[in-house]
Amino acid sequence: MLRVEMRDHDVEALGDGVCRLLEQVGMKFQNETMLAALKEWGATVDDSTQIAKFPRRLLDRFVEDVRREYRRSGPDEAAVPFHAPDMPQIETQVAQYLYDYDAGERRPGKSEDYVEFIKLGDRLPGAPDVGHCLLLTDVPPLVEPLEALLLQAEYAHRPQGVFAWNASQAAYLREMGDALGMERAYSFGAVCIAHPLRFDRAVADRYVMMIAEGHRGGLTAMPVAGLSTPITVEGFIVVSTAEQLGAWIAARAMNPKAPLGGSVWCGTPDMKIGHISFSNFDAMYYNVATVQFTRDWCGVEIVPSGPDYANAKRPGLYAVLEKAYKAMIVAAFTGAHPSIGGGMVDTGKVLSDVQLLLERDMTEGLQQFGRSIAATEERIGFPTILEVGTGDGASYFQSDHTALNFRSSLWLPELLDRTGWNGPESEARIMDRYRDKVRALTAEYQKPEGREGKLAAARRVAERARRELLS
């Protein structure tokens, strides 16, 4: 596993900066339950500004306790088997737009578009769960997850549940899940605060519910260097880690047994035009440096930015290679290879069905590295080795051993051309094949049956929610 050059005294100085920031500036928590818990924990709380400041002695004690709880015993460099990334599916990572391949443009997602993605997800090999992948812009935002759950329940054989972004949605979604017989009808998803150092009310309310339910404490932090943190990596580490530490303290103040974790999704600006990238080399350096500091300082493993937040604006070979390379950077500095994505482009804002299938083929290639060596006589093929000898008049390509073993030995993507990029015309033909495959899969879809009574009960809950939430 690779490491950023960071010496012990650098870790000490950065940790000191984190604690000084939380002691002198603190964090804003726009939730009375959080503020009361923090006050009980020992923070100095100003109720008028909703800012909690953390005494240094309590911060030092908290970090030491967390270090004892989370720091690994044994060397960090111990070799571990390669864990192959999971196959991309239609999961709960909500995109604001979809990419219309035939029109060559993106557009806001609607209910009818989400149904098509459910049909595609339902027909992917392996009968996967189907999640909340697309924002429905044709329904009011406060009831959008409820409408998405109804569509899942009606069209998906294995609905995964939806993303509840507002605490007021949870009770209705729970009731709908009970009516539908779903163990978990919703998740609270990412905890993204208003950087710097502000737990805005909507996120804070949801965080309180998450911690009460036993979820992990921590942030899906998305600070931007030079905008919501200092431009330097050192300043970025101090501010972004202070936010994580404040979130952990709030979690433990409300639930002393809350597990801790989180992730960091750094953005860096193009100073010429203002574009923010979450996948350029500097952004990834900030990510892995912050992850390493957090692990070295207090032992908690947070996760760097995922490959779906890549720059590519359109689906295609460039997009999948950009995302695969981002995943390789994460693997190199953490030892764990993430999924290369779930069909998203343009920094996670746009979902593409053809990109999803392309990424499934690429993931099959990456899964080659998850294979193990099995040195059996059959796999070695020594009789064939003796038969071919020095290759005079014989060839492994013509052998029975090759014919019997090539399918289990080689990466054989269904649609992707292994020979490499050969110009825009060649790529267009490949992407057309993926478009045709999407159509073929959705054409095979059959709607689930026998849910009419459960759906009717769930729709009654959704109608009541519309009246109560939108009044």
Output the pLDDT for position 359.
96
For residue 80, the cross-strand partners are none
Output the pLDDT for position 1.
85
Question: What tokens were used for 402?
Answer: 């090759």
Helical segments of 259-417, H only: 281-298, 317-334, 353-366, 377-380, 382-388, 400-409
Counting Cα atoms < 13 Å in the Cβ hemisphere of 76 gives 15
Answer for the pair 350, 356: CB distance below 8 angstroms, yes or no. Answer: no
**Residue in this structure with the two tokens 């391949």, named with its chain if needed:** 101
Question: What tokens were used for 362?
Answer: 């690429």
Residue from 136, 70, 68 nearest 97 by CA: 136
Predicted confidence (pLDDT) at residue 126 exceeds the cutoff of 90: no
Output the pLDDT for position 73.
58
For the segment 380-388, the average pLDDT, to the nearest whole number, is: 95
Predicted confidence (pLDDT) at residue 147 exceeds the cutoff of 70: yes
Counting Cα atoms < 13 Å in the Cβ hemisphere of 202 gives 10
Q: What is the phi/psi pair of residue 220, to 5°?
A: -95, 80
Question: What tokens were used for 218?
Answer: 């921590």
Output the pLDDT for position 429.
95
Output the pLDDT for position 189.
86
Q: What is the pLDDT of residues 228-287, one digit of tens each?
A: 999 999 999 999 999 999 999 999 999 999 999 999 999 999 999 999 999 999 999 999
Question: What tokens were used for 178?
Answer: 């009970």
Output the pLDDT for position 312.
96
Predicted confidence (pLDDT) at residue 457 exceeds the cutoff of 80: yes
Output the pLDDT for position 79.
63
* Residue-range domain boundaries for the chain: 374-412
Output the pLDDT for position 100.
96
- 133 or 85: whose pLDDT is higher? 133
Mapped onto helix, strand or coil, the DSSP state of residue 337 is coil
Please state, rounded to an integer, the average pLDDT across all residues of the chain: 95
Answer for the pair 101, 431: CB distance below 8 angstroms, yes or no. Answer: yes
Mapped onto helix, strand or coil, the DSSP state of residue 12 is helix
Mapped onto helix, strand or coil, the DSSP state of residue 56 is helix
C-alpha pair distances (Å), 96 with each of 36, 173, 429: 36, 21, 28
Answer for the pair 47, 332: CB distance below 8 angstroms, yes or no. Answer: no
DSSP letters, 112-149, are: HHHHHHHHHHHHSTT---B---B--TTS-GGGHHHHHH
Q: What angle do CA 68, 74, 75 make, to 5 degrees?
A: 115
Cis peptide before 88 (omega within 30 of 0): no
Q: What is the pLDDT of residues 215-231, one digit of tens each?
A: 999 999 999 999 999 99
Q: What angle do CA 327, 238, 290 make, to 5 degrees?
A: 15
Output the pLDDT for position 72.
73
Mapped onto helix, strand or coil, the DSSP state of residue 100 is strand
User: What percent of the chain is modeled with pLDDT above 70?
Assistant: 98
Residue from 352, 427, 320, 322 nearest 105 by CA: 352
Q: What is the pLDDT of residues 6-63, one digit of tens each?
A: 999 999 999 999 999 999 999 999 999 999 999 999 999 999 999 999 999 999 999 9
b/e burial code for range 92-106 (CB count within 10 A of at least 16 → b)? bbbbebbbebeeeeb
Q: What is the pLDDT of residues 63-110, one digit of tens each?
A: 999 999 998 755 555 567 888 888 999 999 999 999 999 999 999 999
For the segment 159-163, the average pLDDT, to the nearest whole number, is: 96
